[in-house]
Amino acid sequence: MNYSITRFKKDYLILFLIWFIGLIIDRLWFLLDESIPSYDQSAHLTTALHHYRIFQNIHIFSGDWWLSLWKLTPSYRAPFVYICTVPFFFLFGKGYDQASLVNLIYSAVIIISVYHLANYLFKSSKIGITASLFCLLFPILGIMRTDYLLDYGLTAIVTLTFTILTIWQDYARGFKSWLLTLALGLGIGLIMLAKPTGFIFILIPAVLILISFIRQRKYIKLLQTGLSLITAWLICGSWYSLNWLTIITSAINANNVGKNEGDPPVTTIAGWLVYPQMLPETVGFPILFVSMGILLVYVINYKFAHQEVREQRITSGINWLIIYLFSSYIICSLGTNKDVRFILPLFPIIALILAYWFNLIDNKNFDKVRLIAIGLSGIILLNNLFPLPIIQAWGGKHLPSDEGKKYPLAQLIDKINQTNPYLRSTLGVIPVSTSQVNEFTLDYFGTLADFRVYGRKVTMKLSQVEQDLKYFPWYVTKDNEPDEAGERGETKRKFKALVESDPNLKLQADWVLPSGDKLRLYKRVNPDVVVEKLNNGNSGINLQPVISNNHLLVGQSNPVSYQITGDWDDLQNGLLLLKWQHDKSSWYHDRAIGLGNLYCGVKCHPQGSFQVTENISTFIPQGLALGEYQLSAEYLDRRTGKVTPLNIPPTIVNVTNKGKIDKAPALDLVSQMSQLALELQQGKLDNIFVQIDNFNQYDPTQDYLKQIELAANYRLQTEPSNRNWRYTLVLAELLQRQVPELIANLTELTKYDAKNPYVWLYLAFVYLYDFQPRQAEPKLAIAEKLNPNIPELKTLKTVTNIMRFLPIIHF
């Protein structure tokens, strides 16, 4: 760029002042704001905190560490923004205000990117500085800067990448060209890590550039294009390889939200006018109207009158920006969910186009108009963010609030932790309608409290109410919930009534909300797990079974109790491997001590001995031989994998098929998965997915999957042909997306269940998930030979052919 060093420094000083003014406005807003993050914000903040937790024990050269990092974001909500937030948590502490500091980095990236893009396209630092100023003044960008969502980070990285793309296309040779190539690949990779749909904003411009390279036979640029795509895949490939299926399904579900929210469909004119109608409000009337007015005067005076233009305008630059703008607008309008956040990456480019129009005419009178427009835009921005006594129609969109003082969410979480100081708790949230009190905000406050409480929404299906009523140790309700029609409303009313009347639940505390309604917290009277600190010390792990009824019914869940004593770290990191044996007949009751919920904080390791009492159920499989069964027990240490036999008093029960069980506690999730394994073996998948969704609510950490993995791998060492353990392990590995282990386990399973077509079908599916269609094809052939009428078979064969670039065969 043909600017002196002095001019360059002056421009950067102006850009810094623009950024610094934004910093003052944004931090003043957060200083005044004490609001409770709403639904989406709470979900994002919670995920960011979990990233912060995993970075507390960073092992950058460990594949397992990276795997656990990528697993934190299995949906279309990608990890880039969360990872960027982690340093601010380390430097300034955990919280909403601290997380929002990352937006200052994004603001700097946007300001610098539009400045350099304007310099490159228009050879004008004035347009670049004006565009940067517009990015400060646009109300929508001001609102996003004072929030915590993925979209502002996406906007920053898209704008930067588009700037690099624009400059890179004209550099054919030299070191700078290759450096820009790597930077472009890095930018594309980060876009894909910021939000999978982010690529749509640079898709058409990138395709047009690629076509021009092919037409002009620019082989070096084609080689650089390949290098940039390889670089992009190195950045984001691991995350997509692990999560691609859940990314697709969650993105499809998110796109359907617009239908439920009543957004106009794409088949109507209204559906195409949603985003243009937002412009005056999101950009600001003064900037929009003055820029368009100057454009109109320019066209009339200099085009229609055929007068000379004092400056040579680079029309190709504005055309390039318009290609980006309209291609992105068309693709975004095709979606069913129309929210201004989804077109946020358009606004820096809109700022550039308006800045170009804004400076078309160099005239002192127009300078005054421009200054007035900028001044009014600044007032409108402040009026959107602060309670100024200006025209209300132009402001009040995102005001700071002191509502956080009025809602007792922190007190509610503290009450749970004080009652259960040594347990991780899951709070069942019976739908609460306010943006301040819901499962996401409660989950966020529970995460802030050292990750000790998880808020989860209870079922909205009548058939699952009784099941949900057994599994949550805590419930929260609110008075005067809005009445809803249909099954959802009926389920909510029934659940609330059952919680408030169930003798197994008691009111632990209540609070009055600002609306006058009461928020009530209920606790289970006889919880599944009770932890007590002991005065006397014990060496090692000791198990004491407590059998109140030694007659257990086959084919049912039977109540049992266990008391386990030992040191905290041994209890927290231990699995009980329990086996009830009668001749060659047996059943297992393996699980983590305390069901995996022993926890008092990230760095909490209390000294002394503890007693864990489990009041749970054991399920005796149907068809098990009747008679007397004796218990044997082993302890598995998660940290070392070492298994130690436990000395326990002789414990014998009589398994019978006669009698009745009035009521039994909830069955642990490891045993529940063992039952689902029978359905998996038979190819009955519908109920499995429904139940697993429920299990992931009951155990938000999904620790039950790790318990299954440890127990199953141990049992299969001595019983490799145990199909129930193998199918249970298949479920656990599938849900943890452990592809190599899953392929190995299913391959072994084909030896012991070779005539079952579903095992071959599952193995083929996993190979396809791992992009190995050639490995999947023979497995599908075996499944088809065993049972050609399986509905999923046709779909998987079609997918295999697509992956192999073969014609789709309909049969």
Domain boundary among 316, 349, 382: 382
Residue 69 domain-assigned?
Answer: yes
Give the pairing of strands 585-588 and 474-478: unpaired
Structure tokens at 710: 């440890």
Residues 183, 244, single domain; the answer is: yes
What's the confidence (pLDDT) of residue 303?
64
Contacts of 103 (CB under 8 A, 6+ apart): 26, 144, 145, 146, 148, 152, 153
Q: What is the pLDDT of residues 728-758, one digit of tens each?
A: 999 999 999 999 999 999 999 999 999 999 9
Q: How confident is the model at residue 1 (pLDDT cuts 50, 70, 90)?
A: very low
Whether pLDDT at 588 is above 80: yes
What's the confidence (pLDDT) of residue 265?
83
Residue 389 domain-assigned?
Answer: no
Query: Average pLDDT, whole number, for the chain?
Result: 92
Whether pLDDT at 536 is above 80: no
What's the confidence (pLDDT) of residue 746?
97
What's the confidence (pLDDT) of residue 744?
96
Whether pLDDT at 512 is above 80: yes
Whether pLDDT at 257 is above 70: no
What's the confidence (pLDDT) of residue 313?
46
End-to-end CA separation in angstroms for the chain: 62
Which residues span the domain enclosing 508? Answer: 406-519
What's the confidence (pLDDT) of residue 810?
40
What are the φ and ψ backbone dihedral angles of 559, each rounded to 5 degrees?
-70, 135
Residues 682, 555, single domain; the answer is: no
Residues 486, 541, single domain; the answer is: no
pLDDT cut 90: percent of the chain above it? 80
Structure tokens at 280: 């005056």
What are the φ and ψ backbone dihedral angles of 546, each rounded to 5 degrees?
-125, 100
- C-beta neighbour count of 277 within 10 angstroms: 10
d(CA 668, CA 456): 18
What's the confidence (pLDDT) of residue 235?
96
Give mean pLDDT, residues 425-452: 92
Residue 75 domain-assigned?
Answer: yes
Residues 755, 780, single domain; the answer is: yes
CA angle 628, 590, 627 (to 5 degrees): 10
CA gyration radius, the chain: 31
What's the confidence (pLDDT) of residue 136?
97
Q: How confident is the model at residue 806 (pLDDT cuts 50, 70, 90)?
A: low
Residues 119, 204, single domain; the answer is: yes
Residues 367, 274, single domain; the answer is: yes
Residues 54, 181, single domain; the answer is: yes
Q: What is the pLDDT of residues 358-408, one digit of tens each?
A: 999 988 889 999 999 999 999 999 999 998 877 655 556 789 988 888 899
- What's the pTM value of the predicted model, to 2 decimals? 0.94
Residue 770 domain-assigned?
Answer: yes
What's the confidence (pLDDT) of residue 11?
92
Residue 576 domain-assigned?
Answer: yes
DSSP structure string for 85-138: HHHHHHHH-SSHHHHHTHHHHHHHHHHHHHHHHHHHHHS-HHHHHHHHHHHHH-
Residues 417, 294, single domain; the answer is: no
What's the confidence (pLDDT) of residue 486?
85
Strand order in the sheet with 557-567: 529-533, 609-619, 557-567, 542-546
- DSSP 3-state of 540: coil
Residues 446, 541, single domain; the answer is: no
What's the confidence (pLDDT) of residue 398?
87
Residues 415, 544, single domain; the answer is: no
What's the confidence (pLDDT) of residue 192?
96
Residue 396 domain-assigned?
Answer: no
Structurally, the chain folds into a number of domains equal to 4
